[in-house]
Amino acid sequence: MFDDNGSFLLALFEFFLFFAWFMCLFWVIGDIFRSKDMGGGGKTLWLLFVILIPWLGILIYLIARGGGMQERQLEQAKEMQAAQAEYIKSVAAPAGSTAADQISSAKSLLDSGAITQEEFDALKAKALA
């Protein structure tokens, strides 16, 4: 397959370029769809440009809109983090759950034998804190 070291290095370089192009393609396409300041027509035209003329399309996109890519990515990360924090809050403390509700549910667990007296005391102290 490889008759000398040069052909192997050339094939390795070609693979690297293909992999780099593929990663850039995914980053650019993700940024196109993430962008809130572009309408559907603009997104479609950029997507067609990037797919039909790959290297040139990616380079022109990075020149034209590359400055805002990091800002859009950070904005999406903040939105995801806020959604995750909201979900954790909703799961950790159910709505309408008061200290009395938590103590009564812990007491029912104690009465059923699911938890020990020490665990009940810890849950009670946590609910009252």
Return the higher-pLDDT residue of 96 and 46.
Answer: 46
Maximum pairwise Cα distance, the chain: 79
| Residue boundaries of the structural domains of the chain | 5-92, 97-129
How far apart are the C-alpha atoms of 14 and 71, rounded to whole Å? 32
DSSP 93: S
Tell me the average pLDDT of the chain: 86
Query: For residue range 69-127, what is the model confidence (pLDDT) as tens digits?
Result: 888 889 999 999 999 988 887 777 665 567 788 888 888 888 988 888 998 898 888 88
Please give the average per-residue pLDDT across 50-72, as a whole number: 90
Q: How confident is the model at residue 47 (pLDDT cuts 50, 70, 90)?
A: very high
How far apart are the C-alpha atoms of 92 and 76, rounded to whole Å? 24
Spatial CB neighbours of 36, under 8 Å, sequence gap ≥ 6: 72
Q: What per-residue confidence (pLDDT) applies to 7? A: 84
Please give the average per-residue pLDDT across 35-58, as a whole number: 91
Does residue 113 come out as left (phi exceeding 0), alpha (psi in the -120 to 50 range) or beta?
left
Supply the pTM of this predicted model: 0.57
